[in-house]
Amino acid sequence: MKKSKSPSESLNIQTELIMPGHTNPLGNLMGGNLLSWMDVASGISALKHSGHISVTASVDNVSFKMPIKVGDVVIIKSFVSRAFNTSMEVVCEVFIQNMDTGTETLSHQAFLTFVALDKLGNRVTVPEIVPVTDAEKHLFDGALRRRELRLVLAGKMKPVDAISLKGIFS
Ligand SMILES: CC(C)(COP(=O)(O)OP(=O)(O)OC[C@H]1O[C@@H](n2cnc3c(N)ncnc32)[C@H](O)[C@@H]1OP(=O)(O)O)[C@@H](O)C(=O)NCCC(=O)NCCS
């Protein structure tokens, strides 16, 4: 296993066609179905990066700003933006594809955190992420603040220890 990897090595892209069984009576995709696809897609990115089955530790805020309608084609793209010790932040973006023009509209985005486990369920150290593009570097830098915020909110870190977060306010 390599000691460091780029975000693109964990890129996972999957496509879903929204069927009537996925929607509410108005023909809008149910949020839980989208979350389930995002969770699986992101878990595959974490598996690609770590080489291990990875469990969802947290899902950051997801806003359902735009309805996805029956008959729409959605593309779910995910990759690891930063790895810590045994955990990884995965960026998951959902696009609605216009089948006439081929254009993709970003409809949802979320950050998910996965923890890599071995076959016995013990946590394992994961390779570092080395960002390459400016966008990847931007996500990599912000990941430290997002990690502190989610750990503080989960009661796993004292606010006083959230060094990167303090930097925003001071
Ligand atoms: C996620 C899990 C492995 C963390 O184990 P834990 O013993 O609570 O671990 P720790 O507090 O020592 O943290 C271990 C790692 O998880 C991270 N972590 C723990 N809770 C987290 C949270 N709420 N959000 C983000 N990361 C979290 C820690 O930052 C740490 O990462 P690091 O090794 O990179 O520093 C454990 O809580 C678990 O198995 N949860 C259930 C996972 C699952 O079944 N998911 C599917 C839901 S149905």
Measured on CA atoms in the order 15, 17, 23, 28, is the torsion positive or negative? positive
Q: Does 146 fall in a domain?
A: no
* Residue with CA at minimum distance from ligand 1 atom 28: 87
pLDDT tens digit string along 123-158?
Answer: 999 999 999 999 999 999 999 999 999 999 999 999
In a domain, 67, yes or no: yes
Indicate whether 1 pLDDT > 80. Answer: no
Number of domains the chain is built from? 1
pLDDT at 127 (0 to 100): 98
Residue 153 lies in a domain: no
User: Under a CB-based contact definition with an 8 Å cutoff, are residues 123 and 113 in contact?
Assistant: no
Q: How far is the CA of 57 from the centre of ligand 1 (A)?
A: 5
pLDDT tier, 168 (very low <50, low <70, confident <90, very high otherwise) = confident
Ligand 1 centroid to residue 162 C-alpha, Å: 17
In a domain, 110, yes or no: yes
The pTM score is 0.95
pLDDT at 65 over 90: no
Give domain status of residue 148, yes or no: no
Q: Residue 167 domain-assigned?
A: no
- CATH code where residue 13 lies: 3.10.129.10
Rounded to the nearest angstrom, the distance between the alpha carbon of 19 and the centre of ligand 1 is: 34
d(CA 12, CA 137): 19
The domain in which residue 29 lies consists of 4-132
* pLDDT at residue 138, as a whole number: 97
What are the tens digits of pLDDT across the range 4-41? 999 999 999 999 999 999 999 999 999 999 999 999 99
Q: Does the pLDDT of residue 63 top 70, yes or no?
A: yes
Nearest to 99 by CA among 11, 30, 41, 18: 18
Cβ contact 59:35 at 8 Å = yes
Residues with CB under 6 A from ligand 1: 55-58, 84-87, 113, 115, 150-151, 154, 156
Query: Is the residue at 122 inside a domain?
Result: yes
Specify whether the CB–CB gap between 123 and 143 falls below 8 A: no
Calculate mean pLDDT across residues 105-113.
Answer: 96
- What's the gap in Å between 115 CA and the centre of ligand 1? 6
